[in-house]
Amino acid sequence: MSAPAMTSPSTTPSPEAPDPSSAAQRDARLLSILRWIQQLLMPVLLVVEVILFTVLSPHFMTAQNWTNIAINSADLALIAAGLTLIVIMAGIDVSTGFAVGLIGWFVATGMADQRSPILVLLTALLAGAVLGLFNGLLTVRLAIPSIVATLGTSAIFQTLLFALWNSTDVFARPVFPWLSGQSRIAGFPTVALLVIVVYLILHVVLSRTVYGRSVYAIGSNAEAAALTGIKIGRVRLTAYLILGLLIGLAACLYSARIGVVQASSGGELTMLVISSVVVGGTSILGGEGSVLRTLGGLVFIAVLRNGVVLAGVPSLWNGVMIGVVILLAVGINGLVVRVSRRQRRSLT
Amino acid sequence: MKKITGAAALIIAGAVTLAACSNTPTSTTGSPDQTGSGSSDVKVAFVSQVEGIPYFNGFKTGGERAAADLSITYTQTGPAKADSTEQVKILDGLVSQQYDAIAVSPLDPTSINSSLSAAASAGVKIATSDADAPESERAVFVSQASDEALGSTVMDELAKAMDGTGQFGIVSGSADTATFNNWIAAAQAQQEAEYPDMELVGGIRYTTDTAQALQEAQNLMTAFPDLKGIIAVPSTAIPGVAQAVQNGDAIGRVAVTGFGSPQTSGEFLESGAMTSTVLWDVEDLGYLTVWALNQLVTETPFEATNEVPGLDQPVSYDEATKTLLLGEPTVFTKDNYADYDF
């Protein structure tokens, strides 16, 4: 349904463009069109999606429904924000889901054992930091490609969760009332405000600080970044630490939201988190992206998962739609990279 | 150079994925030398759908009791998550370990067929239990209660809670689990026959885990504000759907029933988020399965009605479908769930 909206601008202008004198000029024009599409893809898709579901279901555009969407995707949003930093540096983390499940088990068990909430929250953050740093050290110090390292740790986290869970579902209470979906500030779900604060902070960090510039520099060209004096290892480790802390926080939200921790808990988050980042338009090749794009991708996916049910579409279609959008986003990104490489070659 | 490293990384990633798959935790509960080490050398095994959940733990308790009574060796194993390819691998492993008889609760009756045939031609007695693979070469299917009885009982329970009228939804598990589909078909047939004023809305929602079940239930309640009931089919969906009803302050407005074990549902039966849950005594099913496997190994034919020592009710056997039937489903409510620990 969204496909026609985006393919038309991409196909129509390029063939009809006036014949330029040189190939480089043509590429420059093509490149600016592609970048333009890249920027507009997500906003356009979001608008189309919201209009479509509003037309299809009278219950979609209601405060209650948007509250549900926000609460249900808050944990996802926190992790996606952290993962964005990693992806901008051309890395990846496929262990996030089971990291949430594993920490969620400790959170649920701690609350069931009547531990003090502040202790449980700190434990969750600490556990998140440890798991994050572990992933970071594997990739930074041992130079294992991040996808391989985190595939390994994902299997380990899953097995640990399975062993700890040991056939007993742990029923969880929220750690703090404000970390549960029921809490409101001025009518807004508190967890949604928490997500917005995290995104604003990370946006400022990425766009206004030395650290943020280092992240982009490493993603565009790690060797060049190292030559300019950026401590690549430290910047990468810090990003994994940030992601870990956010995973710890997300685990508190997750266990409060679901209310139970089982052997498979958290597993479904991994792909959703990666999808949110990629659909948002952060380049999987690194060097380009932002947390605000991720937020766009996340809202797109969360709304899609909600809207298809409300519109009465069989649930298998949301997989198809998310898949198509991922391919579109990655495809356009790949084109940008190819064209800009060709252009650079023809200029030199 | 960069391309080569990239390709290498991909290959390694693929290898790790494969390794990770085959390493999914498989709890081999009760290795042969642990459980029911009896005087005879009969070795029987059961492959569950997901090892470790309370339901299959109850099955194991019953199976081990039977193995002890019969003085045979019993092993129960299964995948850590409902994954039909993983289950086939586990079955193949057991066959090569030369068990005398193996029972399986197939996640996907089609994909497991060739392994079952191979096992049968290797001389292993094959049974299905808990779920069936009707096209396979299994010697017997040990049925908990017929799918029809279970489906219609759940529909009766839901109808009772909804006064036989209004909209209801169904949150199921994975779309390729035959058992779930049979229960749902039976429930729908019962509804069409007996409760014409009830209406299924939103279609059947397939889910993979608790988190997704929670969302689907919440979305169903949003899409259909007049929704009066939800059937939660797999044990992963039960806590999700019940939690959605609790979160949405819909206790008393939206009735929830399903096929959950008493322990999984207990919390929600207490809070009122679930009105009832329908299942069978799984310990008895485990007991009957091991008894049946032993009958197969000793080549004792089943009677039309079998007195099984250790079970209270006689067990009927249907020659045409080669099915042993444990009995009628059990309805668990707030009042009796605590008597069962699975």
Mean pLDDT value of segment A52-73: 92
Residue A152 sits at the chain B interface (C-beta within 8 Å): yes
Residue, of A132 and B310, whose pLDDT is higher: A132
pLDDT band at residue B40 using 50, 70 and 90 as cut-offs: low
Most confident of B54-63, B234-243, B287-296: B287-296
pLDDT at A344: 73
By Cβ distance, the residue of B16, B19, B54 closest to A167 is B54
Percent of chain A clearing pLDDT 90 (strictly above): 57
Kindly list the residues from chain A whose CB atom is less than 8 angstroms away from the CB atom of residue B86.
none
Mean pLDDT value of segment A141-169: 91
Kindly list the residues from chain A whose CB atom is less than 8 angstroms away from the CB atom of residue B218.
68, 72
Distances (CA, A) of A62 to A67, A72, A278, A310: 9, 15, 28, 12
pLDDT at B313: 84
pLDDT band at residue B227 using 50, 70 and 90 as cut-offs: very high
Residue B25 confidence (pLDDT) above 50:
no
Percent of chain B clearing pLDDT 70 (strictly above): 88
Minimal C-alpha gap between A262 and chain B (Å): 8
pLDDT band at residue A21 using 50, 70 and 90 as cut-offs: low
Mean pLDDT value of segment B207-211: 86
DSSP A98: H
Tell me the per-residue pLDDT of B110-136, one tens digit each, with 9 for 90 and over: 889 999 999 999 999 999 999 889 889
pLDDT at B12: 46
Q: Whole-model pTM above 0.90?
A: no
pLDDT at A315: 66
Asked if B101 contacts B124 with a C-beta cutoff of 8 angstroms, the reply is yes
pLDDT band at residue A321 using 50, 70 and 90 as cut-offs: confident
pLDDT at A348: 62
pLDDT band at residue B11 using 50, 70 and 90 as cut-offs: very low
Kindly list the residues from chain A whose CB atom is less than 8 angstroms away from the CB atom of residue B211.
254, 257-258, 265, 268-269
Length of chain B: 342
Of A346, A335, A341, the C-alpha closest to A25 is A346
Kindly list the residues from chain B whose CB atom is less than 8 angstroms away from the CB atom of residue A316.
175, 206
pLDDT at A319: 79
Burial class (CB in 10 A: 0-12, 13-18, 19+), B69: middle
Length of chain A: 348
Residue A316 confidence (pLDDT) above 80:
no
Asked if B339 contacts B283 with a C-beta cutoff of 8 angstroms, the reply is no
Percent of chain A clearing pLDDT 70 (strictly above): 93
Residues whose CB falls within 8 Å of the CB of residue B259, separated by 6 or more in sequence, listed in order: B150, B154, B183, B232, B233, B234, B235, B277, B278, B279
Minimal C-alpha gap between B7 and chain A (Å): 12
Residue A317 sits at the chain B interface (C-beta within 8 Å): no
Asked if B235 contacts B208 with a C-beta cutoff of 8 angstroms, the reply is no
pLDDT band at residue A103 using 50, 70 and 90 as cut-offs: very high
Of A292, A248, A282, the C-alpha closest to A266 is A248
Query: Among all residues of chain B, which has the CA nearest to that of A311?
Result: B223
Q: What is B201-238 written as a DSSP string?
A: EEEEEE-SSHHHHHHHHHHHHHH-TTEEEEEE-STTHH
Query: Among all residues of chain B, which has the CA nearest to that of A62?
Result: B222
